[in-house]
Chains A and B, each alone.
Chain A
Amino acid sequence: MAKTPESVYQEMLKGIWRDNPVFVQVLGMCPMLAVTNSAVNALAMGLATFFVLVGSSLLVSMMRKWIPKQVRISSYIIIIATFVTIIDYTLLALFPKIHKELGAFIPLITANCLILGRQEAFASRNSVRFAVMDAVGMAGGFLFALLALGGVREILGEGALFGVSLFGPNFEPWIIMILPPGGFLTLGLILLFFNWVTEKHKEAQMRLLQPAEERSS
Protein backbone atom coordinates (compact mmCIF):
# COMPACT_ATOMS: atom_id res chain seq x y z
CA MET A 1 0.00 0.00 0.00
CA ALA A 2 1.46 3.30 -1.04
CA LYS A 3 1.51 6.15 1.37
CA THR A 4 -1.41 8.02 -0.06
CA PRO A 5 -3.59 10.43 1.84
CA GLU A 6 -6.23 7.67 2.06
CA SER A 7 -3.88 5.36 3.88
CA VAL A 8 -3.14 8.06 6.42
CA TYR A 9 -6.86 8.33 6.90
CA GLN A 10 -7.13 4.58 7.28
CA GLU A 11 -4.49 4.57 9.99
CA MET A 12 -6.80 6.80 11.94
CA LEU A 13 -9.99 4.88 11.27
CA LYS A 14 -8.57 1.50 12.22
CA GLY A 15 -8.14 2.62 15.81
CA ILE A 16 -11.73 3.68 16.11
CA TRP A 17 -13.36 0.50 14.87
CA ARG A 18 -11.41 -2.38 13.36
CA ASP A 19 -8.57 -2.40 15.89
CA ASN A 20 -10.38 -0.57 18.66
CA PRO A 21 -7.99 -0.63 21.64
CA VAL A 22 -10.69 -1.68 24.07
CA PHE A 23 -13.19 -3.75 22.16
CA VAL A 24 -10.72 -5.61 19.95
CA GLN A 25 -7.32 -5.41 21.60
CA VAL A 26 -8.73 -5.35 25.15
CA LEU A 27 -6.07 -2.91 26.36
CA GLY A 28 -6.29 -0.23 29.03
CA MET A 29 -8.83 -2.11 31.13
CA CYS A 30 -7.84 -0.47 34.42
CA PRO A 31 -9.07 3.06 33.68
CA MET A 32 -11.78 1.55 31.50
CA LEU A 33 -13.47 -0.14 34.44
CA ALA A 34 -12.48 2.24 37.19
CA VAL A 35 -13.58 5.66 36.00
CA THR A 36 -16.56 4.90 33.80
CA ASN A 37 -19.18 5.26 36.51
CA SER A 38 -20.35 8.47 34.88
CA ALA A 39 -20.15 9.87 31.38
CA VAL A 40 -18.35 13.02 32.52
CA ASN A 41 -15.57 11.03 34.18
CA ALA A 42 -15.28 8.84 31.10
CA LEU A 43 -15.02 11.90 28.88
CA ALA A 44 -12.35 13.50 31.06
CA MET A 45 -10.29 10.32 31.23
CA GLY A 46 -10.69 9.82 27.48
CA LEU A 47 -9.51 13.34 26.68
CA ALA A 48 -6.59 13.13 29.10
CA THR A 49 -5.49 9.86 27.51
CA PHE A 50 -6.00 11.42 24.08
CA PHE A 51 -3.62 14.25 24.92
CA VAL A 52 -0.99 11.93 26.37
CA LEU A 53 -1.13 9.40 23.56
CA VAL A 54 -1.01 11.93 20.72
CA GLY A 55 1.72 13.95 22.40
CA SER A 56 3.87 10.93 23.16
CA SER A 57 3.42 9.42 19.70
CA LEU A 58 4.43 12.71 18.12
CA LEU A 59 7.58 13.00 20.23
CA VAL A 60 8.55 9.34 20.02
CA SER A 61 8.15 9.37 16.27
CA MET A 62 10.21 12.54 15.96
CA MET A 63 12.98 11.13 18.13
CA ARG A 64 12.92 7.60 16.80
CA LYS A 65 16.26 7.96 15.03
CA TRP A 66 18.02 9.21 18.15
CA ILE A 67 16.75 6.87 20.81
CA PRO A 68 19.04 3.83 21.06
CA LYS A 69 16.94 0.71 21.18
CA GLN A 70 18.48 -0.53 24.42
CA VAL A 71 16.96 2.36 26.37
CA ARG A 72 13.87 2.93 24.26
CA ILE A 73 11.31 1.72 26.80
CA SER A 74 12.68 3.93 29.55
CA SER A 75 12.77 6.86 27.16
CA TYR A 76 9.15 6.26 26.17
CA ILE A 77 8.12 6.08 29.81
CA ILE A 78 9.89 9.39 30.54
CA ILE A 79 8.09 11.02 27.63
CA ILE A 80 4.72 9.57 28.59
CA ALA A 81 5.13 10.42 32.28
CA THR A 82 5.97 14.02 31.40
CA PHE A 83 2.78 14.41 29.39
CA VAL A 84 0.80 12.79 32.18
CA THR A 85 2.22 15.22 34.74
CA ILE A 86 1.34 18.13 32.47
CA ILE A 87 -2.28 16.99 32.12
CA ASP A 88 -2.43 16.19 35.84
CA TYR A 89 -1.52 19.74 36.88
CA THR A 90 -3.64 21.28 34.15
CA LEU A 91 -6.73 19.39 35.31
CA LEU A 92 -5.98 20.24 38.93
CA ALA A 93 -5.78 23.94 38.07
CA LEU A 94 -8.69 24.18 35.63
CA PHE A 95 -11.12 21.44 36.67
CA PRO A 96 -10.48 20.62 40.34
CA LYS A 97 -13.84 18.81 40.65
CA ILE A 98 -13.05 16.38 37.84
CA HIS A 99 -9.52 15.93 39.13
CA LYS A 100 -10.97 14.97 42.50
CA GLU A 101 -13.26 12.36 40.94
CA LEU A 102 -10.55 10.77 38.82
CA GLY A 103 -8.03 10.93 41.63
CA ALA A 104 -5.23 8.41 41.35
CA PHE A 105 -6.24 7.34 37.87
CA ILE A 106 -4.68 10.38 36.23
CA PRO A 107 -1.09 9.51 37.26
CA LEU A 108 -1.90 5.92 36.35
CA ILE A 109 -2.36 6.91 32.70
CA THR A 110 1.43 6.47 32.55
CA ALA A 111 0.95 2.77 33.12
CA ASN A 112 -1.80 2.40 30.51
CA CYS A 113 -0.45 -0.36 28.29
CA LEU A 114 -2.34 1.09 25.34
CA ILE A 115 -0.05 4.12 25.30
CA LEU A 116 3.26 2.31 25.68
CA GLY A 117 2.01 -0.31 23.22
CA ARG A 118 1.41 2.27 20.51
CA GLN A 119 4.87 3.78 21.02
CA GLU A 120 6.59 0.42 20.75
CA ALA A 121 4.44 -1.03 17.99
CA PHE A 122 3.82 1.97 15.83
CA ALA A 123 5.20 5.42 16.65
CA SER A 124 8.80 4.25 16.94
CA ARG A 125 8.67 2.75 13.42
CA ASN A 126 6.65 5.24 11.44
CA SER A 127 6.86 8.79 10.21
CA VAL A 128 5.46 11.59 12.31
CA ARG A 129 2.35 11.97 10.16
CA PHE A 130 1.39 8.32 10.44
CA ALA A 131 2.28 8.12 14.10
CA VAL A 132 0.05 11.08 14.93
CA MET A 133 -2.84 9.78 12.85
CA ASP A 134 -2.53 6.37 14.45
CA ALA A 135 -2.48 7.95 17.91
CA VAL A 136 -5.51 10.09 17.10
CA GLY A 137 -7.37 7.00 15.92
CA MET A 138 -6.42 4.82 18.87
CA ALA A 139 -7.12 7.54 21.41
CA GLY A 140 -10.39 8.29 19.64
CA GLY A 141 -11.30 4.62 19.84
CA PHE A 142 -10.44 4.58 23.53
CA LEU A 143 -12.52 7.69 24.14
CA PHE A 144 -15.41 6.15 22.22
CA ALA A 145 -15.22 2.97 24.31
CA LEU A 146 -15.01 4.89 27.60
CA LEU A 147 -18.00 7.00 26.63
CA ALA A 148 -20.02 3.96 25.60
CA LEU A 149 -19.36 2.27 28.91
CA GLY A 150 -19.72 5.43 31.01
CA GLY A 151 -22.92 6.42 29.23
CA VAL A 152 -24.58 3.04 29.68
CA ARG A 153 -23.56 2.82 33.32
CA GLU A 154 -24.70 6.32 34.18
CA ILE A 155 -28.03 5.93 32.40
CA LEU A 156 -28.83 2.65 34.17
CA GLY A 157 -27.15 3.44 37.47
CA GLU A 158 -28.31 7.01 38.04
CA GLY A 159 -30.98 7.56 35.41
CA ALA A 160 -28.97 10.44 34.01
CA LEU A 161 -26.51 11.25 31.27
CA PHE A 162 -23.80 13.88 31.80
CA GLY A 163 -25.60 14.70 35.03
CA VAL A 164 -28.88 15.50 33.27
CA SER A 165 -31.71 13.43 34.67
CA LEU A 166 -33.47 11.42 31.97
CA PHE A 167 -36.36 9.56 33.53
CA GLY A 168 -37.67 11.89 36.21
CA PRO A 169 -37.81 11.31 39.95
CA ASN A 170 -39.73 8.02 39.81
CA PHE A 171 -36.84 6.12 38.26
CA GLU A 172 -35.29 3.69 40.70
CA PRO A 173 -31.57 3.75 39.84
CA TRP A 174 -29.90 0.42 39.31
CA ILE A 175 -27.07 1.11 41.68
CA ILE A 176 -25.04 -1.97 40.87
CA MET A 177 -24.30 -0.47 37.46
CA ILE A 178 -22.12 2.29 38.92
CA LEU A 179 -20.42 -0.10 41.32
CA PRO A 180 -17.49 -2.21 40.08
CA PRO A 181 -19.58 -5.29 39.15
CA GLY A 182 -21.63 -3.10 36.83
CA GLY A 183 -18.45 -2.17 35.01
CA PHE A 184 -17.58 -5.78 34.34
CA LEU A 185 -21.14 -6.64 33.32
CA THR A 186 -21.43 -3.73 30.92
CA LEU A 187 -17.98 -4.30 29.43
CA GLY A 188 -18.76 -7.99 28.92
CA LEU A 189 -22.02 -7.23 27.17
CA ILE A 190 -20.46 -4.55 24.98
CA LEU A 191 -17.62 -6.92 23.99
CA LEU A 192 -20.20 -9.56 23.17
CA PHE A 193 -22.10 -7.14 20.98
CA PHE A 194 -18.91 -5.96 19.29
CA ASN A 195 -17.77 -9.47 18.45
CA TRP A 196 -21.22 -10.35 17.20
CA VAL A 197 -21.18 -7.39 14.82
CA THR A 198 -17.70 -8.33 13.62
CA GLU A 199 -18.73 -11.93 13.02
CA LYS A 200 -21.77 -10.83 11.03
CA HIS A 201 -19.62 -8.54 9.00
CA LYS A 202 -17.17 -11.34 8.23
CA GLU A 203 -19.92 -13.74 7.25
CA ALA A 204 -21.38 -11.20 4.89
CA GLN A 205 -18.00 -10.83 3.26
CA MET A 206 -17.48 -14.56 2.95
CA ARG A 207 -20.78 -14.81 1.17
CA LEU A 208 -19.56 -12.37 -1.42
CA LEU A 209 -16.82 -14.92 -2.09
CA GLN A 210 -14.07 -12.46 -2.26
CA PRO A 211 -10.85 -14.18 -1.42
CA ALA A 212 -9.65 -11.51 0.89
CA GLU A 213 -6.14 -10.36 0.06
CA GLU A 214 -6.16 -8.59 3.33
CA ARG A 215 -7.96 -10.07 6.25
CA SER A 216 -11.13 -8.19 7.26
CA SER A 217 -10.59 -4.99 5.40
Chain B
Amino acid sequence: MTEPADQRPNSTNEAPPPVVMEPSSIRLISTLAIAGLVSGIAIVAIYEATLQTITENKARELREAVFKVLPGVSKMKKFQLEENGIRFRAEEGKDENTIYGGYNQQGEFVGYALPSAGPGFQDTIGILYGYIPESRKVVGMEILESRETPGLGDKIYKDLSFVSNFDNLSIDPEIVTIKKGMKSAANEVDAITGATISSKAVVRIINEGNERWINQLPTYGIPLPEEGSPE
Protein backbone atom coordinates (compact mmCIF):
# COMPACT_ATOMS: atom_id res chain seq x y z
CA MET B 1 0.00 0.00 0.00
CA THR B 2 1.41 3.31 -0.98
CA GLU B 3 1.54 6.02 1.56
CA PRO B 4 -0.54 9.08 0.83
CA ALA B 5 1.43 11.97 -0.45
CA ASP B 6 0.78 14.16 2.50
CA GLN B 7 2.65 12.01 4.98
CA ARG B 8 5.72 11.62 2.82
CA PRO B 9 8.55 13.99 3.60
CA ASN B 10 8.25 16.47 0.84
CA SER B 11 11.61 17.00 -0.68
CA THR B 12 10.52 20.11 -2.55
CA ASN B 13 9.39 21.85 0.59
CA GLU B 14 10.53 25.35 1.10
CA ALA B 15 11.04 26.52 4.63
CA PRO B 16 7.64 26.69 6.33
CA PRO B 17 6.24 30.21 6.54
CA PRO B 18 8.22 31.88 9.31
CA VAL B 19 6.20 32.30 12.43
CA VAL B 20 7.54 35.49 13.86
CA MET B 21 5.02 36.12 16.57
CA GLU B 22 1.30 35.85 17.12
CA PRO B 23 -0.31 38.18 14.61
CA SER B 24 -2.74 40.64 16.12
CA SER B 25 -6.42 39.90 15.82
CA ILE B 26 -6.79 43.03 13.69
CA ARG B 27 -4.46 41.43 11.20
CA LEU B 28 -6.52 38.22 11.22
CA ILE B 29 -9.79 40.05 10.82
CA SER B 30 -8.49 42.29 8.08
CA THR B 31 -7.11 39.30 6.16
CA LEU B 32 -10.48 37.62 6.13
CA ALA B 33 -12.27 40.89 5.41
CA ILE B 34 -10.09 41.56 2.40
CA ALA B 35 -10.49 37.99 1.18
CA GLY B 36 -14.24 38.27 1.56
CA LEU B 37 -14.35 41.61 -0.21
CA VAL B 38 -12.29 40.44 -3.17
CA SER B 39 -14.32 37.24 -3.37
CA GLY B 40 -17.57 39.21 -3.24
CA ILE B 41 -16.47 41.47 -6.07
CA ALA B 42 -15.46 38.47 -8.16
CA ILE B 43 -18.81 36.78 -7.58
CA VAL B 44 -20.79 39.90 -8.42
CA ALA B 45 -18.74 40.30 -11.58
CA ILE B 46 -19.36 36.76 -12.78
CA TYR B 47 -23.04 37.02 -11.86
CA GLU B 48 -23.43 40.21 -13.87
CA ALA B 49 -21.45 38.80 -16.77
CA THR B 50 -23.55 35.66 -17.08
CA LEU B 51 -26.97 36.95 -16.06
CA GLN B 52 -28.11 37.89 -19.54
CA THR B 53 -27.11 34.59 -21.13
CA ILE B 54 -28.73 32.63 -18.33
CA THR B 55 -32.03 34.51 -18.64
CA GLU B 56 -31.98 34.11 -22.42
CA ASN B 57 -31.27 30.39 -22.09
CA LYS B 58 -34.22 29.94 -19.77
CA ALA B 59 -36.56 31.91 -22.00
CA ARG B 60 -35.41 29.99 -25.06
CA GLU B 61 -35.85 26.65 -23.32
CA LEU B 62 -39.38 27.59 -22.40
CA ARG B 63 -40.24 28.78 -25.93
CA GLU B 64 -38.89 25.56 -27.38
CA ALA B 65 -40.92 23.56 -24.89
CA VAL B 66 -44.11 25.44 -25.78
CA PHE B 67 -43.59 24.83 -29.50
CA LYS B 68 -42.87 21.19 -28.79
CA VAL B 69 -45.99 20.46 -26.76
CA LEU B 70 -48.31 22.34 -29.12
CA PRO B 71 -47.76 21.01 -32.64
CA GLY B 72 -48.50 23.43 -35.45
CA VAL B 73 -47.92 26.50 -33.33
CA SER B 74 -45.72 29.25 -34.66
CA LYS B 75 -46.32 32.05 -32.19
CA MET B 76 -46.65 32.05 -28.45
CA LYS B 77 -48.06 34.52 -25.95
CA LYS B 78 -47.90 34.65 -22.19
CA PHE B 79 -51.26 34.66 -20.46
CA GLN B 80 -51.92 35.65 -16.90
CA LEU B 81 -54.73 33.93 -15.08
CA GLU B 82 -56.75 36.20 -12.85
CA GLU B 83 -59.95 35.85 -10.88
CA ASN B 84 -62.07 37.11 -13.73
CA GLY B 85 -60.39 35.26 -16.55
CA ILE B 86 -57.16 35.54 -18.45
CA ARG B 87 -55.27 38.42 -19.98
CA PHE B 88 -52.03 38.87 -21.87
CA ARG B 89 -49.12 39.14 -19.52
CA ALA B 90 -47.12 42.17 -20.49
CA GLU B 91 -44.56 42.08 -17.72
CA GLU B 92 -41.30 40.22 -17.91
CA GLY B 93 -40.87 36.87 -16.17
CA LYS B 94 -43.60 34.62 -14.86
CA ASP B 95 -45.34 33.56 -11.69
CA GLU B 96 -47.47 30.60 -10.65
CA ASN B 97 -50.46 31.90 -12.59
CA THR B 98 -48.67 32.34 -15.89
CA ILE B 99 -49.64 30.04 -18.75
CA TYR B 100 -48.88 30.12 -22.46
CA GLY B 101 -51.06 30.32 -25.50
CA GLY B 102 -50.06 29.10 -28.94
CA TYR B 103 -51.22 30.53 -32.29
CA ASN B 104 -50.79 29.07 -35.75
CA GLN B 105 -49.41 30.78 -38.84
CA GLN B 106 -52.75 32.49 -39.58
CA GLY B 107 -52.82 33.91 -36.06
CA GLU B 108 -55.63 31.63 -34.92
CA PHE B 109 -55.61 30.32 -31.38
CA VAL B 110 -54.57 26.66 -31.18
CA GLY B 111 -54.23 25.73 -27.53
CA TYR B 112 -52.66 26.28 -24.18
CA ALA B 113 -49.32 25.17 -22.79
CA LEU B 114 -49.87 24.56 -19.10
CA PRO B 115 -47.23 24.14 -16.43
CA SER B 116 -47.73 21.75 -13.55
CA ALA B 117 -45.44 20.26 -10.96
CA GLY B 118 -45.58 17.66 -8.23
CA PRO B 119 -43.57 15.04 -6.41
CA GLY B 120 -41.99 12.27 -8.46
CA PHE B 121 -39.99 9.31 -7.24
CA GLN B 122 -37.00 11.38 -6.10
CA ASP B 123 -37.85 15.03 -6.31
CA THR B 124 -40.27 17.47 -7.88
CA ILE B 125 -41.12 16.81 -11.51
CA GLY B 126 -41.96 19.95 -13.47
CA ILE B 127 -44.04 19.45 -16.59
CA LEU B 128 -45.30 21.60 -19.43
CA TYR B 129 -48.11 20.07 -21.45
CA GLY B 130 -50.09 21.16 -24.44
CA TYR B 131 -53.87 21.24 -24.18
CA ILE B 132 -56.46 21.87 -26.86
CA PRO B 133 -59.66 23.08 -25.20
CA GLU B 134 -61.87 22.47 -28.23
CA SER B 135 -61.24 18.72 -28.34
CA ARG B 136 -60.37 18.47 -24.62
CA LYS B 137 -57.14 16.70 -25.43
CA VAL B 138 -53.54 16.75 -24.27
CA VAL B 139 -51.35 16.94 -27.36
CA GLY B 140 -47.85 16.96 -26.00
CA MET B 141 -45.82 16.74 -22.81
CA GLU B 142 -42.36 17.95 -21.95
CA ILE B 143 -40.50 17.39 -18.69
CA LEU B 144 -38.92 20.67 -17.67
CA GLU B 145 -37.39 19.54 -14.43
CA SER B 146 -36.76 16.14 -12.91
CA ARG B 147 -34.23 14.22 -10.88
CA GLU B 148 -35.65 10.78 -11.54
CA THR B 149 -33.31 7.79 -11.34
CA PRO B 150 -30.99 7.65 -14.33
CA GLY B 151 -31.72 4.58 -16.41
CA LEU B 152 -35.18 3.99 -14.95
CA GLY B 153 -37.20 7.03 -13.96
CA ASP B 154 -35.57 9.26 -16.52
CA LYS B 155 -37.37 7.26 -19.19
CA ILE B 156 -40.31 9.59 -18.61
CA TYR B 157 -38.50 11.91 -21.01
CA LYS B 158 -35.94 9.62 -22.66
CA ASP B 159 -38.33 6.86 -23.71
CA LEU B 160 -40.07 8.31 -26.75
CA SER B 161 -42.75 5.64 -26.80
CA PHE B 162 -43.84 6.83 -23.36
CA VAL B 163 -43.72 10.49 -24.33
CA SER B 164 -45.84 9.75 -27.41
CA ASN B 165 -48.62 8.54 -25.09
CA PHE B 166 -49.36 12.19 -24.55
CA ASP B 167 -49.63 13.15 -28.21
CA ASN B 168 -53.36 12.58 -28.44
CA LEU B 169 -54.73 11.91 -25.01
CA SER B 170 -58.27 12.50 -23.90
CA ILE B 171 -58.60 14.03 -20.45
CA ASP B 172 -62.13 12.74 -19.78
CA PRO B 173 -63.04 11.57 -17.22
CA GLU B 174 -59.38 11.67 -16.19
CA ILE B 175 -56.08 10.29 -17.43
CA VAL B 176 -55.23 6.86 -16.06
CA THR B 177 -52.02 4.84 -16.04
CA ILE B 178 -52.22 1.20 -17.05
CA LYS B 179 -49.77 -1.64 -17.53
CA LYS B 180 -47.59 -1.41 -20.58
CA GLY B 181 -49.15 -2.72 -23.75
CA MET B 182 -52.74 -2.63 -22.44
CA LYS B 183 -53.64 0.80 -23.78
CA SER B 184 -57.04 0.66 -25.41
CA ALA B 185 -58.98 3.80 -24.53
CA ALA B 186 -58.15 7.40 -25.42
CA ASN B 187 -57.57 8.43 -21.84
CA GLU B 188 -55.05 5.70 -20.99
CA VAL B 189 -51.28 5.92 -20.70
CA ASP B 190 -48.93 2.93 -20.94
CA ALA B 191 -46.70 2.95 -17.86
CA ILE B 192 -42.98 2.31 -18.22
CA THR B 193 -41.84 -1.09 -17.01
CA GLY B 194 -39.44 -0.47 -14.12
CA ALA B 195 -40.55 3.12 -13.68
CA THR B 196 -44.16 2.75 -12.64
CA ILE B 197 -43.93 5.35 -9.89
CA SER B 198 -42.43 7.98 -12.19
CA SER B 199 -44.98 7.26 -14.95
CA LYS B 200 -47.85 7.49 -12.51
CA ALA B 201 -46.41 10.70 -11.12
CA VAL B 202 -46.42 12.28 -14.59
CA VAL B 203 -50.05 11.35 -15.12
CA ARG B 204 -51.03 12.54 -11.66
CA ILE B 205 -49.28 15.86 -12.19
CA ILE B 206 -51.13 16.42 -15.46
CA ASN B 207 -54.45 15.51 -13.85
CA GLU B 208 -53.74 17.98 -11.06
CA GLY B 209 -52.86 20.59 -13.65
CA ASN B 210 -56.13 19.97 -15.43
CA GLU B 211 -58.07 20.35 -12.22
CA ARG B 212 -56.33 23.59 -11.50
CA TRP B 213 -56.48 25.25 -14.90
CA ILE B 214 -59.02 23.87 -17.28
CA ASN B 215 -62.30 25.18 -15.98
CA GLN B 216 -60.94 28.69 -15.92
CA LEU B 217 -59.73 28.75 -19.49
CA PRO B 218 -61.84 30.10 -22.34
CA THR B 219 -62.05 27.64 -25.22
CA TYR B 220 -60.75 30.04 -27.82
CA GLY B 221 -58.12 31.81 -25.80
CA ILE B 222 -57.67 35.50 -26.46
CA PRO B 223 -57.67 36.66 -30.06
CA LEU B 224 -54.29 37.88 -31.16
CA PRO B 225 -54.01 41.67 -31.29
CA GLU B 226 -53.67 43.24 -34.73
CA GLU B 227 -50.34 42.97 -36.54
CA GLY B 228 -47.79 45.59 -35.70
CA SER B 229 -48.35 45.58 -31.98
CA PRO B 230 -45.29 44.70 -29.97
CA GLU B 231 -44.77 41.03 -29.16
Contact = CB atoms under 8 A, between A and B. Distances in A.
A165 interface: no
A107 interface: no
B214 interface: no
Interface stretch (B29-37, B66-74, B196-204, B223-231): B29-37
B43 A19 contact: no
Contacts of B1: 195
Interface string B49-76: 1100110011001000000000000000
Interface in A181-217: 195, 198, 215-216
A47 interface: no
A122 interface: yes
A85 B43 contact: yes
B5 A79 contact: no
B147 A173 contact: no
A92 B43 contact: no
Is chain A's binding surface mostly helix, strand, loop or mixed? helix
A90 B53 CA distance: 10
Contacts of B8: 215
Contacts of B150: 37-38, 178-179
A122 B39 contact: no
Nearest to A124: B17
Nearest to B41: A82
A18 B2 contact: yes
A175 B159 CA distance: 15
Nearest to B43: A85
Interface string B6-19: 10101111101101
B43 A125 contact: no
B31 A125 contact: no
Q: Is the interface on chain B under 10, 10 to 19, 20 to 34, or 35 or more residues?
A: 35 or more
Contacts of A126: 12-14
A158 B158 CA distance: 12
Contact of A25 (B5, B19, B39, B152): B5
A170 interface: no
A160 to B, nearest CB: 12
B46 A85 contact: yes
B5 A19 contact: yes
B50 A92 contact: yes
A30 interface: no
Nearest to B152: A175
Contacts of B173: none
B31 A90 contact: no
Contact of A81 (B2, B17, B39, B58): B39
Contacts of B12: 1, 3, 7, 11, 126, 130
B6 A121 contact: yes
A179 B57 contact: no
Nearest to A121: B6
B212 interface: no
B28 A71 contact: yes
B14 A93 contact: no
Interface of B: 1-6, 8, 10-14, 16-17, 19, 23, 27-28, 31-32, 35-36, 38-39, 42-43, 46-47, 49-50, 53-54, 57-58, 61, 147, 149-152, 194
Given A82-B39, A96-B54, A127-B14, 16 more contacts: A14-B5, A25-B5, A25-B6, A68-B28, A74-B35, A78-B32, A79-B39, A85-B42, A85-B46, A86-B46, A93-B53, A117-B6, A121-B5, A126-B12, A126-B14, A178-B151
